Amino acid sequence: MEEIVRTNDPVLISYIEALLTEAGVVHLVLDTHMSVLEGSLGMIPRRILVDADQSALARRRLTEAGLGKELRTP
């Protein structure tokens, strides 16, 4: 798995998940339940990971959607 995005923005996460699902990219959002430990403040960023074999496709889809600036450096 390769991390492609790290963000605190739940709307952005939802949008990225929709884009990846539509493209057929297997993905995983980590740290979703950390709000129990942090007190629901949203201080711990969520990480979106994709299968390493689909990383290029995921990055291309997010860039085409105007989210290139959100991508983490490989």
Taking CA atoms, 5 is separated from 13, 31, 33, 39, 69, in Å, by 9, 12, 17, 23, 10
Phi, psi for 25 (deg, rounded to 5):
-90, 125
> Would you state the pLDDT for residue 8?
87
Residue 2 falls within a domain, yes or no? no
Residue 1 falls within a domain, yes or no? no
Domain of residue 15: give its range: 7-48+55-70
Q: Which residue has the tokens 């290139």?
A: 68
> Would you state the pLDDT for residue 43?
74
- What is the pTM assigned to this prediction? 0.85
Higher pLDDT, 32 or 46: 46
Amino acid at residue number 53? D
Q: How many domains does the chain have?
A: 1
* Residue pLDDT, tens place only, 50-63: 999 999 999 999 99
Residue 18 falls within a domain, yes or no? yes
CB proximity list for 33: less than 8 A, separation 6 or greater = none
> Would you state the pLDDT for residue 34?
72
Q: Which residue has the tokens 């963000």?
A: 7
Residue 17 falls within a domain, yes or no? yes
Residue 27 falls within a domain, yes or no? yes
